[in-house]
């Protein structure tokens, strides 16, 4: 199994309609493959505009089965370009039952595995609980030809428990497809704090687990259906090493391919000098299963 891989995060806008969005994602995957990428990560729900800004039952028509039409297309792209692809799809599991689902395609075009988003937000402009049922596949990495991928989705990226469980299950890299942005009415200093917190918490997951990490966000302004402010997606995709070091990063406007070479063997060396897994006091952590300690 190859232990040094070239990872690519596709930072792209997703506000141009499904056909255009998908065609653009495919063109970026092909461009990444031409630059020897082994792994290509796409932003969260890259097929469509961020429909969760409002609660609209008509948006359920955007969902599709997994496997389904988009899976068939991306499977062919993965095989034709000899790359592993991480995509997220609005999954229709059954009538009235929908998930936000990451699908991992291996280099031969097979579906290596899936992950259903576990933590579902419900905030102004992010009404995801209306659309998505919390995942029920647990925190299990997806085994591929290039290694075990710990794929989590957006809101999952704030929870240290999620990253830890992926690490404990053998993940060799943490991957976060994302759709996160600013309320344009927020002051510039508040926007800075939010973005810095987002980067910091994920770098912390890399450090605490001794794993490289890929965070792939969308860019661009997307108006809300009611013509309210909308969301300015802040980009800032980045790839970090197992000590949280930034290997590659983007700004809040760049439409680009972000590359980094990841030596998955380096986690072994890092964990030898920072043996967090060895020194965990698992016998004292029972209260983590409680909602709150009164």
C-alpha–C-alpha distance, residues 89 and 98, integer Å = 10
What's the Rg (C-alpha) of the chain? 18
Residue 148 appears among annotated catalytic residues: no
Name the pairing type of β-strands 142-144 and 181-182: unpaired
Residue 30 appears among annotated catalytic residues: no
Please give the distance of CA 26 from its chain centroid, rounded to a whole number: 17
The catalytic residue among 44, 91, 172, 222 is: 44
In the block, which residue shows the tokens 């030898």?
272
* 130-163: burial string, b at 16+ Cβ within 10 Å, e else: bbbbebeeebbbbbbebbbbbbbbbbbbbbeebb
Residue 44 appears among annotated catalytic residues: yes
The catalytic residue among 14, 52, 59, 154 is: 154
CB 248 within 8 A of CB 238: yes
7: left (phi over 0), alpha (psi -120 to 50) or beta: beta
DSSP 3-45: -EEEEEEEE-B--S-HHHHHHHHHHHHHHHHHTT-SEEEPPTT
The catalytic residue among 52, 59, 107, 117 is: 117
Residue closest to 52 by CA, chosen among 149, 142, 141, 129: 129
Residues with a catalytic annotation lie at 44, 117, 154
């Amino acid at each position: 199994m190859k232990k040094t891989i070239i990872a690519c995060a596709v930072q792209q806008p997703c506000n141009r309609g499904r056909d255009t969005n998908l065609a653009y994602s495919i063109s970026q995957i092909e461009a990444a493959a031409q630059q020897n990428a082994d792994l290509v990560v796409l932003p969260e729900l890259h097929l469509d505009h961020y429909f969760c800004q409002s609660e609209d039952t008509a948006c359920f028509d955007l969902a599709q089965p997994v496997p389904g039409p988009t899976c068939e297309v991306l499977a062919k792209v993965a095989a034709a370009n000899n790359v592993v692809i991480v995509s997220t799809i609005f999954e229709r599991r059954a009538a009235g039952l929908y998930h936000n689902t990451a699908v991992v395609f291996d280099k031969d075009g097979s579906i290596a595995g899936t992950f259903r988003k576990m933590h579902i937000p419900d905030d102004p402009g992010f009404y995801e609980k209306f659309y998505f049922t919390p995942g029920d596949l647990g925190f299990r990495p997806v085994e591929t030809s290039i290694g075990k991928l710990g794929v989590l989705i957006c809101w999952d990226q704030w929870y240290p428990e999620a990253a830890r469980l992926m690490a404990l299950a053998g993940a060799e890299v943490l991957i976060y497809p994302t759709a996160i942005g600013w309320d344009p009415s927020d002051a510039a200093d508040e926007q800075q704090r939010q973005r810095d917190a987002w980067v910091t918490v994920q770098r912390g997951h890399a450090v605490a687990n001794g794993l490289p990490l890929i965070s792939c966000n969308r860019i661009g302004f997307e108006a809300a259906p009611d013509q309210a402010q909308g969301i300015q997606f802040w980009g800032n995709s980045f790839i970090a090493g197992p000590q949280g070091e930034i290997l590659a990063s983007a700004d809040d406007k760049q439409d680009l391919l972000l590359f980094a070479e990841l030596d998955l063997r380096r986690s072994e060396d890092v964990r030898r000098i920072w043996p967090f897994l060895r020194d965990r006091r698992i016998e004292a952590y029972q209260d983590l299963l409680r909602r709150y300690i009164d």
